[in-house]
Amino acid sequence: MSALTDRLDQIKAEGRSALIGYLPVGYPTVERSIRAMEVMVEAGVDIVEVGMPYSDPVLDGPTIQLAAEAALGNGTRVADAFPAVAAVVAAGAPAVVMSYYNPMLQYGLDRFSEELAAVGGSGVITPDLTPDTGHDWTVAAQANGLDQIYLVAPSSTAERLHLTAHATSGFVYAASIMGVTGERASVGDVAERLVADTRAAGAPRVCVGLGVTTGVHAAKVAAYADGVIVGSALVRCLIDNDDEEAALAALRVKVAELAAGVRGNA
């Protein structure tokens, strides 16, 4: 068990779904991104995804791409994720890193996993890595007690769901739609079936992301998933407000709306 699984199980015992919030480290600066993550926890996010900016983010839509490009342009590097994780943990929430595989590989899988574990990180979501190609990462992660979090999609076969469910620890990340991250007007019904099928394949915890934008969306997903993952709607708060205090105020409002949704008060 990890801090991540402990928190998810605790929240499930409370009769609700977890709110999982994503922000990329380094946008608009490393220091301001860390403060924003702390504010998310203060405002009601249960678990934080610390995003690792990458030059070829195949899963990310325009909002997160914009923030990631700016972060890279500001000189953000892999090592900047570790103080962000430490700050989130100190604020009282489990932290996982969301990273494409190449930055981790270039940094060194053993080095990366050791440094992440040292600052209290719980695991890594790897959107472009699958269990059957992730042996080296699995070895490094397990050696340091980190969860390996893989994705399933509406197109995943029964065989793929079974493989992913049994190779994943922490939670399985269920993509609610085929496509990239982003804010949307609604969350499709296919996600509920995907969660049910993933659980039937053996996954004890399934969290849903992609397209969750409002408290109403969050409430809908919370009715059947162990966690509701929100990224672009939170990043938008920072993009739309150059002033730091205004950005943090907008972030608090959006998190409060989403938190009310997962707690049944939307």
Given the residues 38, 49, 115, 257, the one annotated as active site: 49
163/250 Cα distance (integer angstroms): 40
Amino acid at 42: E
| 244 is an active site residue | no
86/101 Cα distance (integer angstroms): 21
- For residue 35, give both structure tokens: 């403060």
Closest among 14, 4, 18, 15 to 207, alpha carbons compared: 18
- For residue 24, give both structure tokens: 């990329």
| 183 is an active site residue | no
Given the residues 38, 46, 60, 192, the one annotated as active site: 60
According to DSSP, the residues that pair with 124 across neighbouring strands are 97, 148
5/18 Cα distance (integer angstroms): 11
- Catalogue the active-site residues: 49, 60
